Amino acid sequence: MKLIVNADDFGLSRGVNYGIVDAHELGIVTSTTMLTNMPATDHAFQLMEHYPDLQVGVHLTLTCGVPLTSDCPTLINQQGEFRLTSQFRRATHEINVEEVEKEWNAQIQQFYTKGITPSHLDSHHHIHTWEPVIPVIKHLAQTYDLPVRTGFKQAPAGIRFWSDLLDTNFYKEGVNEAYFAELSQQYKGYDGTIEVMCHPAYIDETLRKYSSYVDDRARELRILTQVKQTVGHLLGKNEPTQT
C-alpha cells in the first residue's frame, strides 16, 4: 500500500496554514488542498514557496466564505456568503450549475493566475460528490487535466482519481494515537493508494469563526507529527489513478 495524507482547509486561517505546513515538515502530511476564497489564502500561497515537496491542490467550496464571482444568486444568502452548509444534501432550494461551474473555475484560476498548477481537486464537505454538481467537477477535471478525490457513491467515468481509496475516519472521535498503526495493519498487503483526510491546525479566532470542527484539529496536529516512525515508510508522492 502507498499512503497519502491530505490536509484539508489550507487557506482557511493562519493557524490552519501553520498547522498544515508543520504537519508536513515535522510529520506525515504529503499534500494539502487550499480554499482560495478565504482570509488566509494569500498567506497559504506565500507559505507554498517554502515547502516545494508539499503537493497543493484546490479545496473547492460552496459552503464556506464568500464567492469569488459576483453573479451567483442561487449560491448566496442576503449577506453575500455561500448559503449552503455541510448539510447541503438536505437543501430545499435549487442551485444553478452554471453558477457553480463559473465559481469553481474562478477558485481554480487563483492558482493558474499565479503560474501554479494545482496537484488535484477535492472539496469542502465533499460537496463535489453531490449528484447535482458531478457534471461540473467532471468537466473541470477534464478541462484542467487534474485528478479528483474519490468518495463518490458511483465513480463517474473519465476522471482520474487522486487515490484508489479514501479513508475519512481520522476525524472527531476517530482521532487517536492508534489510528495509523491500525490502518497500516488493516491494509497490509494492499497494492493500491489510500488517501487519509486530515485537518491539522493551530487554533485561532478565524478558525472558530468559520468552522465548528476546532479543538480536535490541534490533537490531529500532535498525532500527525508523532507517527512518522510508524507509517513513514508507506508515504510517497502521488500518481493519480485513471478510471
Query: Binding site residues for Mg(2+), as ranges?
Result: 59, 124
pLDDT value, residue 241: 58
Alpha helices in the chain (DSSP H): 14-25, 41-48, 97-112, 134-144, 179-186, 205-210, 215-224, 228-231
pLDDT value, residue 84: 86
pLDDT value, residue 135: 95
pLDDT value, residue 3: 96
Distances (CA, A) of 61 to 121, 127, 143, 177, 179: 11, 7, 18, 30, 28
Query: Contact, 103 vs 68, CB < 8 A?
Result: yes
Per DSSP, the residues of 71-115 read: --TTTB-TTSSB---TTGGG--S---HHHHHHHHHHHHHHHHTTT
Three-state DSSP class for residue 165? strand
Tens digit of pLDDT for each residue in 89-110? 676 578 999 999 999 999 999 9
Q: Which of 6-15, 29-38, 153-162, 219-228 has the lowest mean pLDDT?
A: 153-162
pTM: 0.94
pLDDT value, residue 236: 74
Mean pLDDT in residue range 78-99: 83
Per DSSP, the residues of 121-135 read: EEEGGGGGGSGGGHH
Query: Binding site residues, as ranges?
Result: 59, 124
Three-state DSSP class for residue 235? strand
Report how far Cα 13 is from the mean position of its chain's Cα atoms.
Answer: 14
The percentage of the chain sitting over the pLDDT mark of 90, rounded to a whole number, equals 86
Identify the structural domains of the chain with CATH numbers, from first to last.
2-242 (3.20.20.370)
Of 160, 171, 174, 172, nearest in space to 197 by CA = 171
Tens digit of pLDDT for each residue in 9-38? 999 999 999 999 999 999 999 999 999 999
Is the predicted pLDDT of residue 242 greater than 60, yes or no?
no
**Confidence at 155, pLDDT banded by 50, 70, 90:** confident
The percentage of the chain sitting over the pLDDT mark of 70, rounded to a whole number, equals 95
Mean pLDDT over each residue of the chain, to the nearest integer = 94
Backbone φ and ψ of 41, nearest 5°: -60, -50
pLDDT value, residue 29: 98
